[in-house]
């Protein structure tokens, strides 16, 4: 190249020579250090809950506040793998003088990107410099429940979180109402709002390649005469993340 060639061409030639000799991809000062972006669909996390077999309906007998005999006892509920807690209790609504059933379910699953094949394959030896996008997809592949879930709350927390009231656990979003027995396999989406505590926690733990926990919680109330909670439910949550790697 002639000596009187513009400076930018001489610089380009020197950078090309460096790349040829070292195998590195040089960058100019002021350029974005992120070499490329990737999208990674992390492993699906399943939350199965078993409310057991049907035990009839919530009693319609008139009751008084504090009367534990008329409405009856609760029932056992299991969360597969022991990853959560679940109860169904019967009590009297003193204002209505009628019984009701209160279900409370919390289930957890840990996301560990270092144990996720899709993540480790995509990232390799590179470092995650930025998390550009977080999309939580969810499906309900099986459902034999006898009652409607008005909503399911989704939370995220640091490793070891077991309850929505644990330190560092923050809300993410709520699902749409789920009718008794309803299933769907086309993914629906939860919003992880930009700048929210949930987004900050997820981004930080992914950049640091640290585990974190998703929690789902539901507390449906069933009034007198309604079927007592029964049946099995599985909710699957799968994060899709957009990463900037360097």
Phi, psi angles (nearest 5°) of residue 43: -65, 150
Which residue is associated with the tokens 């379910």?
105
Q: How far apart are CA 217 and CA 97, in angstroms?
A: 28
Contact residues for 222 (Cβ-Cβ < 8 A; gap 6+): 58, 100, 101, 102, 103, 147, 228, 229
Set out the domains of the chain in order of their start, with CATH numbers: 33-52+106-217+229-245 (2.60.120)
pLDDT of 82:
66
Note the pLDDT of residue 58.
93
For the chain, give me the number of helices (H) and strands (E)? Answer: 3, 13
Cα separation of 183 and 203, whole Å?
31
Could you write out the DSSP letters of every residue in 176-190? Answer: PPB-TT--EEEEEEE
Residue 81, pLDDT score: 66
3-state secondary structure 136-160: EEEEEEEECCCCCECCCEEEEEECC
pLDDT at 144: 93
pLDDT of residue 239: 93
Nearest 10 degrees: CA dihedral of 48, 53, 57, 63?
-80
pLDDT beneath 70, residues of the chain: 1-35, 81-82
Rounded to an integer, what distance in angstroms lies between the CA atom of residue 29 and that of residue 99? Answer: 71
pLDDT in tens, 66-94: 777 888 877 778 887 667 888 888 999 99
């Amino acid at each position: 190249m002639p000596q009187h060639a513009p400076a930018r061409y001489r610089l380009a030639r020197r950078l090309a020579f460096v790349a040829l000799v070292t195998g590195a991809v040089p960058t100019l000062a002021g350029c974005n250090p992120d070499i490329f972006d990737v999208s990674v669909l992390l492993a699906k996390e399943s939350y199965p809950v078993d409310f057991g077999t049907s035990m009839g309906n919530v009693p319609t007998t008139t009751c008084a506040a504090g009367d534990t005999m008329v409405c009856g006892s609760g029932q056992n509920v299991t969360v597969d793998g022991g990853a959560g807690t679940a109860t169904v209790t019967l009590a009297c609504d003193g204002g209505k003088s009628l019984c009701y059933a209160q279900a409370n379910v919390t289930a957890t699953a840990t996301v560990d990107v270092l144990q996720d094949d899709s993540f480790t394959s995509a990232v390799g030896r590179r470092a995650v410099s930025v998390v550009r996008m977080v999309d939580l997809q969810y499906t309900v592949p099986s459902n034999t429940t006898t009652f409607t879930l008005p909503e399911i709350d989704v939370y995220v927390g640091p490793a070891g979180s077991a309850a929505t009231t644990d330190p560092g656990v923050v809300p993410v979003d709520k699902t749409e109402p789920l009718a008794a027995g309803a299933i769907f396999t086309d993914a629906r989406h939860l919003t992880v709002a930009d700048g929210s505590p949930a987004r900050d926690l997820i981004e930080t733990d992914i950049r640091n390649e640290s585990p974190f926990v998703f929690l789902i919680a539901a507390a449906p109330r069933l009034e007198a005469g309604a079927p007592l909670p029964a049946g099995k439910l599985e909710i699957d949550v799968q994060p899709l993340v957009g990463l900037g790697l360097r």
